[in-house]
Amino acid sequence: MTVLDEATRPNILNDELKHSEPDQKGKWLVLLAAFLGWMFDGMEMGIFPLISSPALTEFKSDVAKWNGIFHMVFLLGAALGGLVFGWLGDKIGRVRAMTFSVLAYSVFTGVGYFADAAWQLAALRFLAALGMGGEWALGVALVMEIWPETLRPMMAGLIGAASNVGFALIALLGMFIRIEPGQWRWVLLAGLSPALLTFFIRLFVPESEKWKASVKVDVKARPVREIFSGSTLRLTLLGISFASVALIGTWGSVQWIPTWVDRQLMTGNPHAKAVAQFTASLGAIVGCIVAPLVGNILGRRWTYFLLCVTSLITCQLLFRLTQQYDNMFLFSVFVVGMTTASFYGWLPLYLPELFRTRVRATGQGVSFNAGRVLAAGGALLAGSLVTWNHGSYAASGAIITLVYLAGMVLIWFAPETKGKPLPE
Residue-wise pLDDT tens digits, 66-77: 877 887 888 888
User: What confidence score (pLDDT) does residue 22 get?
Assistant: 62
pLDDT category, 19, cuts 50, 70, 90? very low
DSSP state of 22: P
- Highest averaged pLDDT of the listed ranges 15-29, 200-214, 249-263: 200-214
pLDDT category, 304, cuts 50, 70, 90? very high
pLDDT category, 171, cuts 50, 70, 90? confident
Flag whether pLDDT at 108 surpasses 90. Answer: yes
What burial class does residue 134 get, using C-beta atoms within 10 Å of its C-beta: 0-12 exposed, 13-18 middle, 19+ buried? Answer: buried
Name the residue among 328, 353, 113, 80 with its Cα closest to residue 224. Answer: 80
Q: CA torsion angle for 316, 320, 326, 327 (degrees, to 10)? A: -30
- Cα–Cα dist 153/184, whole Å: 38
Flag whether pLDDT at 6 surpasses 70. Answer: no
> What is the percentage of the chain residues whose pLDDT exceeds 90?
30
* Domain assignment present for 208: no
Burial 59-87 (b: 16+ CB within 10 A, else e): bebebbbbbbbbbbbbbbbbbbbbbbbbb
User: What confidence score (pLDDT) does residue 184 get?
Assistant: 86
- Cα–Cα dist 412/359, whole Å: 24
Q: What is the pLDDT of residues 366-420, one digit of tens each?
A: 888 777 777 777 666 766 777 787 777 778 888 889 999 999 999 999 999 998 8
Domain, as residue range, for 147: 23-201+229-413
Residues 6+ apart with CB under 8 A from 203: none
What burial class does residue 327 get, using C-beta atoms within 10 Å of its C-beta: 0-12 exposed, 13-18 middle, 19+ buried? Answer: exposed
Flag whether pLDDT at 338 surpasses 90. Answer: yes
φ, ψ (nearest 5 deg) of residue 128: -65, -35
Flag whether pLDDT at 105 surpasses 80. Answer: yes
The answer to whether the Cα torsion of 109, 125, 312, 289 is positive or negative is negative
User: What confidence score (pLDDT) does residue 20 get?
Assistant: 52
* Domain assignment present for 17: no
Report the CATH number at residue 295.
1.20.1250.20
DSSP letter for each residue of 156-192: HHHHHHHHHHHHHHHHHHHHHS---TTTHHHHHHGGG
User: What confidence score (pLDDT) does residue 149 get?
Assistant: 81
Q: Tell me how many domains the chain contains.
A: 1
* Domain assignment present for 409: yes
Q: Cα 222 vs. chain centroid, distance in angstroms?
A: 25
> Nearest 5 degrees, angle CA 7-CA 11-CA 15?
160
* Domain assignment present for 274: yes
User: What confidence score (pLDDT) does residue 21 get?
Assistant: 59
User: What confidence score (pLDDT) does residue 2 get?
Assistant: 44
Flag whether pLDDT at 228 surpasses 60. Answer: yes
Residues 6+ apart with CB under 8 A from 237: none
Q: What is the pLDDT of residues 113-166, one digit of tens each?
A: 999 999 999 999 999 999 988 888 888 888 988 888 888 899 989 988 888 888
pLDDT category, 221, cuts 50, 70, 90? low
User: What confidence score (pLDDT) does residue 422 get?
Assistant: 81
User: What confidence score (pLDDT) does residue 43 get?
Assistant: 84
Residues 6+ apart with CB under 8 A from 383: 64, 65, 67, 68, 71
pLDDT category, 196, cuts 50, 70, 90? confident
Q: What is the pLDDT of residues 29-60, one digit of tens each?
A: 999 988 998 888 888 887 887 788 889 989 98
The amino acid that residue 180 corresponds to is E
* Domain assignment present for 418: no
Residues 6+ apart with CB under 8 A from 191: 43, 44, 47, 105, 106, 109, 110, 112, 128
Burial 110-128 (b: 16+ CB within 10 A, else e): bbbbebeebeebbbbbbbb
User: What confidence score (pLDDT) does residue 1 get?
Assistant: 40
If phi over 0 gives left and psi between -120 and 50 gives alpha, with beta otherwise, what is residue 60? left
* Domain assignment present for 15: no
Q: Answer for the pair 151, 250: CB distance below 8 angstroms, yes or no.
A: no
Q: Assign 115 to helix, strand or coil.
A: coil
Q: What share of the chain is helix, strand, coil (3-state, %, to 5)?
A: 85, 0, 15
Q: Cα 78 vs. chain centroid, distance in angstroms?
A: 9
If phi over 0 gives left and psi between -120 and 50 gives alpha, with beta otherwise, what is residue 167? alpha
Flag whether pLDDT at 3 surpasses 50. Answer: no
Q: Answer for the pair 98, 170: CB distance below 8 angstroms, yes or no.
A: no
φ, ψ (nearest 5 deg) of residue 417: -115, 5
* Domain assignment present for 273: yes
pLDDT category, 362, cuts 50, 70, 90? confident
Higher confidence at residue 300 or residue 268? Answer: 300
Output the pTM of the full model: 0.80
* Domain assignment present for 13: no
The whole-chain average pLDDT of the chain stands at 84
Flag whether pLDDT at 322 surpasses 90. Answer: no
pLDDT category, 17, cuts 50, 70, 90? very low
